[in-house]
């Protein structure tokens, strides 16, 4: 008997390592020595299910039940094997039989999972559910579904599915249909449902991957995978290993806090070797490697945490933490693409502000690196020359594309923005043209041609006072007087437009028009400027004194251009 127990322990360890063939061989040897031990058949059933040998898993589960029909785990093994074989009705019956002898979470959740798998098979199964002519009567008699029938649109939807069962494939977009399914199948689905956001699954059935919402195709329901490390009840040796592992974890944490990373790594690794059922040992080990700057080892440890965590159905938050740590390690390695990929995986498992911020920062850094890598002044000049040729040929849309490429290649060259503004002006895209001249001025505040072009654009937009102000700025900046003739011509054109626009406009009409400009309104509402203007009415010479102040001069010039202050 002791030999059988020793073989069982070895089989459990092989199973934990996912060496299913070895586990099956060891459990078989144990059965030869102790053929009446129902736990051994249960364990071998789990190992066969790990290989997706559903027929073999079912045979062992039935033998386990034959030896001890009052043991709930045997029924759970049978239900899981039938689930894997997609014999859903029989699996449901097995789980119900198990619940009749033992009310365990594994059985209840196993029943929940297989019921969901059956429901997801497609419109055919849904059509059968809605084909019952007495369905509405059953729903009315059930307290859970009775309230749903108060909604006429819900009743109409059920009748539509009864008339056309193929449309029932979209039925479960309405969560109330879960209750309908429960009544139709004679079970309380909501009683078995997981709380929202929970990823806890029974040991016999793994979590199914999220199903796509598209109705054009449906993946096969995920079959249960028997990867439950907890093969049987925890014995004294296992309890001892767990206790030692937790103690090693505490030592590792203490060493980590003291920045004794070598000792911390040793203890966390020892904890995992002793008790490979808690992936926090591995994520902690990854954190140690991260602090040591060994990012490859940190990634390796956390990837193992993800893999093993999936096998033992660890909390999704722990999986998310492992992915997040992998992402951080890739950031340190400079591999932002892999970092972004893992941060996204982490957020899929569990959304946290910390990882979301890391993702956004990685995306920003990656985008900036790509932008910087694209910069090439020589290629920028070539694209700009190509744009100039297209502009002269009258191909303004193509010129915009070439100037855009020039800007991307060298965003510090104001000529690209200014040239593109000229092309936009030809295309009558005035807001885009104005935006580009502003960007050109921002890039090079001494670029006189950008001011002249901006004045032309404002003139085309009939913003004559702003056009005048801009061309005056161009005159101030043109210290070497290289553009005097062009500036004078533009200024005269704007002045004539202003005189024509205002015509016989009264002072009140001028004020009303000018106050629509927020800048003019701010100046007029400024108490200091109000005082200056009042003083100027009684003493015009005082205005010349105030004009010596550059800030005041700019504001007064703005009012002159707007027509509020009229000069002779």
Q: What is the pLDDT of residues 60-77, one digit of tens each?
A: 999 999 999 988 889 999
Q: Do residues 459 and 430 make contact, with C-beta atoms less than 8 angstroms apart? A: no
Dihedral (Cα; 4, 82, 219, 179), 10-degree rounding: -120
Interatomic CA distance for residues 223 and 52, integer angstroms? 9
Region 417-443 average pLDDT: 96
Residues 285 and 142 in one domain: no
User: What sign for the dihedral angle of Cα 279, 284, 286, 287?
Assistant: positive
Q: Nearest-CA neighbor of 369 among 325, 418, 417, 334?
A: 334
Residues 9 and 128 in one domain: yes
Instruction: Count how many domains the chain has.
Output: 3
Residues 13 and 149 in one domain: yes
Chain Cα centroid distance, residue 249: 33
Residues 178 and 286 in one domain: no
pLDDT digits (tens, 9 = 90+) for 238-261: 788 889 999 999 999 999 999 999
Helices (H), ranges, 515-562: 518-524, 527-538, 540-546, 550-562
Residue 489 has pLDDT above 60, yes or no: yes
Interatomic CA distance for residues 256 and 396, integer angstroms? 64
Interatomic CA distance for residues 424 and 504, integer angstroms? 34
Per the prediction, the chain carries an average pLDDT of 83
Q: Which of 154, 177, 192 is the last residue before a domain boundary?
A: 192
- What pLDDT score was predicted for residue 167? 63
Residues 19 and 131 in one domain: yes
- What pLDDT score was predicted for residue 533? 79
Interatomic CA distance for residues 129 and 184, integer angstroms? 6
Region 280-291 average pLDDT: 94
Q: Is there a domain that residue 554 lies in? A: yes
Q: What is the 3-state secondary structure (H, E, C) of 480-504?
A: CCCCHHHHHHHHHHHHHHHHHHHCC
Nearest 5 degrees, angle CA 136-CA 139-CA 144?
160
Interatomic CA distance for residues 84 and 53, integer angstroms? 9
Low-confidence winner among 217-226, 371-380, 387-396, 399-408 (lowest mean pLDDT) = 217-226
Domain that holds residue 566: 508-568
Interatomic CA distance for residues 420 and 509, integer angstroms? 37
H or E stretch including 171?
Answer: none
- What pLDDT score was predicted for residue 258? 94
Residues 146 and 16 in one domain: yes
Residues 105 and 23 in one domain: yes
Tokens of 61: 């589960």
In this structure, what CATH number is given to the domain that contains residue 556? 1.10.260.100
Which value, in Å, is the radius of gyration of the alpha carbons in the chain?
A: 39
Residues 300 and 153 in one domain: no
pLDDT digits (tens, 9 = 90+) for 444-472: 999 999 999 999 999 999 888 899 989 99
Residues 19 and 137 in one domain: yes
Q: Which of 314, 340, 370 is the last residue before a domain boundary?
A: 370
Chain Cα centroid distance, residue 334: 21
Interatomic CA distance for residues 27 and 42, integer angstroms? 10
Listed in sequence order, the residues at least 6 apart from 511 whose beta carbon sits closer than 8 Å to its beta carbon are: 564
pLDDT confidence band for 275 (50 / 70 / 90): confident
Residue 345 has pLDDT above 80, yes or no: yes
Residue 404 has pLDDT above 80, yes or no: yes
Q: Which of 344, 370, 396 is the last residue before a domain boundary?
A: 370
Q: Is there a domain that residue 18 lies in? A: yes
Residues 35 and 156 in one domain: yes
Long-range (24+ apart) CB contacts under 8 A made by 354-362 are 354/324, 355/320, 355/324, 355/327, 358/324, 358/327, 358/328, 358/331, 359/327, 362/327, 362/331, 362/336
In this structure, what CATH number is given to the domain that contains residue 248? 1.25.40.10
Largest Cα separation within the chain, whole Å, is 119
């Amino acid at each position: 008997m002791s030999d059988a127990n020793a073989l069982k322990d070895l089989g459990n360890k092989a199973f934990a390592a996912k060496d299913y063939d070895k586990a099956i061989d060891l459990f078989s040897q144990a059965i030869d020595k102790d053929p009446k031990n129902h736990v051994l058949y249960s364990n071998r059933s789990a190992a066969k299910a790990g290989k997706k040998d559903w027929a073999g898993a079912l045979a062992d589960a039935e033998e386990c039940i034959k030896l001890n029909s009052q043991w709930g785990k045997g029924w759970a093994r049978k239900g899981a094997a039938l689930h894997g074989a997609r014999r859903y009705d029989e699996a449901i019956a097995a789980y119900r039989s198990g619940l009749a002898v033992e009310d365990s979470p594994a059985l209840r959740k196993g029943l929940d999972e297989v019921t969901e798998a059956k429901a997801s098979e497609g419109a055919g199964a849904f059509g059968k559910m809605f084909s019952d002519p007495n369905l509405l009567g059953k729903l009315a008699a059930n307290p859970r579904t009775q309230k749903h029938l108060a909604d006429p649109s819900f009743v109409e939807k059920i009748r539509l599915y009864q008339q056309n069962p193929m449309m029932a494939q979209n039925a479960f977009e309405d969560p109330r249909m879960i209750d309908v399914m429960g009544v139709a199948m004679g079970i309380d689905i909501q009683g078995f449902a997981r709380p929202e956001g929970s990823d806890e699954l029974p040991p016999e059935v793994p979590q199914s991957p999220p199903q796509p919402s598209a109705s054009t195709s449906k993946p096969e329901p995920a079959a249960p995978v028997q990867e439950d490390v907890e093969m049987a009840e925890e014995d004294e040796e296992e309890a001892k290993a767990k206790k030692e592992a937790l103690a090693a974890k505490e030592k590792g944490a203490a060493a980590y806090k003291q920045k004794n990373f070598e000792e911390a790594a040793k203890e966390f690794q020892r904890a995992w070797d002793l008790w490979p059922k808690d992936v926090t040992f591995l994520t902690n080990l990854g954190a140690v490697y991260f602090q040591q700057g060994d990012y490859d080892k940190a990634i390796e440890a956390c990837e193992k945490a993800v893999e093993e965590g999936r096998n033992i159905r660890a909390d999704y938050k722990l999986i998310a933490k492992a992915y997040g740590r992998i992402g951080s390690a890739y950031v340190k390695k400079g591999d932002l693409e892999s970092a972004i990929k893992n941060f996204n995986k982490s957020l899929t498992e569990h959304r946290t502000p910390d990882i979301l911020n890391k993702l956004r920062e990685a995306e920003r850094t990656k985008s900036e690196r790509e932008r910087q890598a694209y910069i090439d002044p020589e290629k920028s000049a070539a694209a700009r020359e190509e744009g100039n040729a297209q502009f002269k040929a009258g191909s303004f849309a193509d010129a915009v594309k070439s100037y855009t490429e020039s800007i991307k290649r060298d965003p510090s060259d104001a000529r690209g923005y200014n040239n593109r503004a000229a092309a936009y002006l030809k295309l009558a895209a005035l807001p885009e043209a104005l935006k580009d001249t502003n960007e050109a001025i921002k890039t090079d505040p001494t670029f006189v041609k950008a001011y002249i072009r901006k004045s032309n654009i404002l003139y085309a937009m009939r913003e004559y006072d702003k056009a005048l102000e801009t061309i005056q700025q161009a005159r101030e900046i043109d210290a070497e007087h290289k553009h005097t003739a062009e500036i004078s011509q533009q200024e005269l054109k704007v002045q004539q437009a202003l005189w024509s626009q205002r015509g016989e406009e009264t002072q009140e009409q001028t004020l009303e028009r000018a106050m629509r400009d927020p800048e003019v309104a701010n100046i007029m509402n400024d108490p200091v400027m109000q005082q200056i203007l009042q003083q100027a009415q009684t003493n015009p010479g005082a205005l010349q004194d105030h004009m010596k102040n550059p800030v005041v001069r700019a504001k007064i010039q703005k009012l002159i251009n707007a027509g509020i202050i009229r000069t002779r």
